[in-house]
Amino acid sequence: MLDVARNFQTKKEIFKLIDLLALYKLNTLHFHFSDDEGWRLEIPSLPELTAVGAKRGHTIDENNHLRPAYGSGPDPENAPGSGFYSRLDFIEILKGKERLTEFGQSNIVGLQSQIWSEKIHGADELEYMLLPKLLGFAERAWAARPDWDIETDAKKSEALYQKAWGSFVRRLGQRDLPRLDHYAGGFNYRIPAVGLKVIADKVMANIQLPGFTIRYTTDGTEPDLKSPMYSFPISKKGLLTFRAFNSFGRGGRSTSIRIK
């Protein structure tokens, strides 16, 4: 389920998302396009719905647009809370899609995942919140019931779980995320933060997924592509900051630790 009522996403981003769902065989999109916080579909016979209900900005009476909410800001013409799909836009989005049949309604078996947009301001933030979480959802939706879920012995189940998790993160880091750097123009997926641990006065760094490069600084500045690459535990004192980068040079959130 994608919510565009609270903060809007463009038609271009909707098509990009649909391509992503198709890639991972997720065959249903619940398009939540209208709510109290915004009306996103043009109805020519009721122009006020989009003239007023599709914009948010500073106002004392809401005669021309809705009041700001969810970080939409003061300007109704330039805000993540403003926007709508024209009638032709919506027809284009729906073209080639199938309505849920009566048989399908009586036989719904599967999983669902929601992404609400209270704090999502633009396409980059949408993709960051969506990926790679969506791939875990697709894994559970399509894969057979895992061995670790069937196993009744707790220790054996944990061992099977760790084995399955290791297989999943390897595929994610070595195959799927590199593919998403290119697919449909590339996606702004979340790059994991670097985990840090101090052992024998040395800082050890690691990351949840393979396929990323860890770089660091020792003066508290943000690591960039010119910063040293982490390859072994560091014994320097001061404020050490670490950051992971993908093959395109895009970095994730940095992690810092102070060693006295």
Which is more confident, 16 or 140? 16
Instruction: Give the pLDDT band of residue 107 (cuts 50, 70, 90).
Output: low
Instruction: Point out the least confidently predicted range of 15-29, 90-104, 147-161, 246-260.
Output: 90-104
Could you report the per-residue pLDDT of 121-148, keeping only the tens digit for each? 899 999 999 999 999 999 988 888 889 9
The predicted-structure confidence for 155-187, as pLDDT tens digits, reads as follows 999 999 999 999 999 999 999 999 999 999 999
Chain-centre distance for alpha carbon 194: 18
- pLDDT given at position 102: 78
The two tokens of residue 31 are 């398009």
Q: Residue range 210-233: average pLDDT?
A: 95
The residue type found at 178 is: P
Mark residue 206 as left, alpha or beta (left: phi above 0; alpha: psi -120 to 50; beta: remaining): beta
> Residue 135: what pLDDT?
94
- Chain centroid to Cα 75, Å, comes to 26
Residue 95 pLDDT: 84
Mean pLDDT of 83-99: 86
The reported pLDDT for the residue numbered 125 is: 94
Q: Give the helix ranges, DSSP H, for the chain.
A: 11-23, 48-51, 87-94, 102-105, 123-130, 133-142, 147-150, 154-171, 177-180
Mean pLDDT of 95-106: 73
Per-residue DSSP letter, 119 = T
Query: Contact 229/213 with Cβ under 8 angstroms?
Result: yes
73: left (phi over 0), alpha (psi -120 to 50) or beta: left
Structural domain 195-259, CATH architecture: Sandwich (2.60)
Q: 242, 233 in Cβ contact below 8 A? A: no
Distance CA 63, CA 52 (A): 7
Non-local CB neighbours of 207 within 8 Å, separated by 6+ positions: 192, 194, 195, 214, 244
Closest CA relative to residue 230, chosen from 189, 181, 197, 260: 197
Question: Which of 79-83, 102-106, 157-161, 213-217 has the weakest average pLDDT?
Answer: 102-106
Does pLDDT of 199 surpass 70?
yes
pLDDT digits (tens, 9 = 90+) for 226-251: 999 999 999 988 899 999 999 999 99
Helices (H) and strands (E) in the chain, counts: 9, 9
Instruction: Name the percent of the chain lying above pLDDT 70.
Output: 98
**Is residue 108 scored above 80 in pLDDT?**
no
The predicted model scores a pTM of: 0.86
Cα separation, 171 vs 177, whole angstroms = 9
